Amino acid sequence: RKEVEQDPGPFNVPEGATVAFNCTYSNSASQSFFWYRQDCRKEPKLLMSVYSSGNEDGRFTAQLNRASQYISLLIRDSKLSDSATYLCVVSEDGSSNTGKLIFGQGTTLQVKP
């Protein structure tokens, strides 16, 4: 079983749609959670951190459920420019000093006109 599991997709949605991605992780001691975005043939870039209380950044909303070890990302009003692969990322263990992150395989989003 992978440490971070995501549905690879692809998710094909029309412009303006709302789309949600989910991710599960296996290490219950993990403390830090992120969503990264990776464009084709580019490096991953931080999209947003994920906090226990849930957090929002414009059209993007991230949620964390520690009991279920589940993370979600909601994108509202999808734009063509949102087309990318979204990586769910979890810290390796409970210590905030290791810094090692585990990357999911990513979920691919294609927004169509």
Residues that bind another protein (CB under 8 A): 31-32, 34, 36, 41-46, 49, 51, 87, 89, 91, 96-97, 99-101, 103-106
Among residues 31, 3, 35, 32, the alpha carbon closest in space to that of 21 is found at 35
Nearer to another protein by C-beta: 31 or 69?
31
Nearer to another protein by C-beta: 43 or 67?
43
With DSSP H G I counted as helix, E B as strand and the rest as coil, what are the percentages for the chain, rounded to 5? 5, 50, 45
Nearer to another protein by C-beta: 69 or 93?
93
Distance in Å, CB of 102 to another protein, minimum: 9
Cis peptide before 10 (omega within 30 of 0): yes
